[in-house]
Amino acid sequence: MPVVRSSYRAPLLLRNRHFNTIFGSFMPVSDRLPWTRERIATPDDDFLDLDWSVSGKERLLLISHGLEGSTKSKPVLSLAAAAVRHGWDVLAWNYRGCSGEPNRALRFYHSGETEDLGLVLKHALARYRSIALTGFSLGANLTLKLAGEQGEDLLPAVQGIAVVAAPCDLAACATQLARPSNRVYMRYFLRNLEKKLRQKQTRFPAEISLAGFEEIQTFHEYDERYTAPLHGFDGALDYYSKCSSGQFLDGIRVPTLILNAKDDPFLHFESNPHELAERHPHLWLELPAHGGHASFGRASRSEPRWYSQRVMSFLETVGE
């Protein structure tokens, strides 16, 4: 499909990528939905916590959050509220260790862990015949990778996919975030990841050491020391190579929208799948000039988030 011309126009102040990104983290979510939590078991004796907002609708939107997020993250809540307004039920799931309670296994979650997402999807398919998938950032990578891995097996139950701020090349994303201008984001992520490692160290003191953690400055260093060995990869580069969603996009058979801002500070612009989108019959790529990372702020904070409206518009269209 052709690369989509975007309707998003950022207010003048929000044409700075960092202002837009940070603004998004403070944008309120006015709609408060009722949520019901369900815990499901994983094959390795761990658990996943799922949050449902349902009212008996026939369609379900399954939402995957970003790195160190949860079902309480503002992008998740905003999109969930938009989905309910459009007549959908919603399922948002927490990755291992992200629901407010440490998970039991040594492993955490990571950018390519599609087995857990597949388990959640299978669980949802027992209740719904029509499902759409969406995700933010890390959750976008997970969603695209799963769609490429499963291809036609997702049909006909999964009617559409729309993801926001998708890092199609994890190595390029790690390099981008290592830039000095992104230091504030790296400090935020590393601080949160260290907290989870300290919790897990109490259960697995022989397997996890935090000695010298303060010397870690980049995702490459963190993934080399923790993500890769804890999840069976031969170093950070092996992890990036095997888990980047870009290599799986050709296998997608469900109508899919990738919504990435050109000025996203987390993503390298050239890692967007421009050439593939031009020839792929099921892939739409939309690249607004501005938007920051999963923000797309508006002049009025009371307005619905633009990406929520765009995602739901796309899913409604392909569903028809």
Rounded Cα–Cα distance for residues 262 and 106 (Å)? 37
Task: Single out the catalytic residue among 99, 137, 245, 295.
Answer: 137
Rounded Cα–Cα distance for residues 51 and 241 (Å)? 31
155 residue type, one letter: L
Sheet containing 59-64, strands listed edge to edge, beginning at the edge strand earlier in sequence: 36-41, 47-53, 89-93, 59-64, 130-136, 158-164, 256-259, 283-286
264 has catalytic annotation: yes
268 has catalytic annotation: no
Cβ atoms of 136 and 113 within 8 Å: the answer is: no
Identify the residue whose tokens are 């102040």: 13
Measured between alpha carbons, how far apart are the two ends of the chain, in Å? 18
- Torsion, Cα 172 22 163 233, to 10 degrees, reads 40
263 has catalytic annotation: no
Q: What is the Cα 147 distance to its own chain's centre?
A: 13
| C-alpha distance from residue 52 to each of 24, 84, 124 (Å) | 24, 11, 10
51 residue type, one letter: D
Task: Single out the catalytic residue among 6, 116, 293, 295.
Answer: 293
Torsional class of 14: left (φ above 0), alpha (ψ -120 to 50), beta (otherwise): alpha
Tell me the catalytic residues: 137, 264, 293
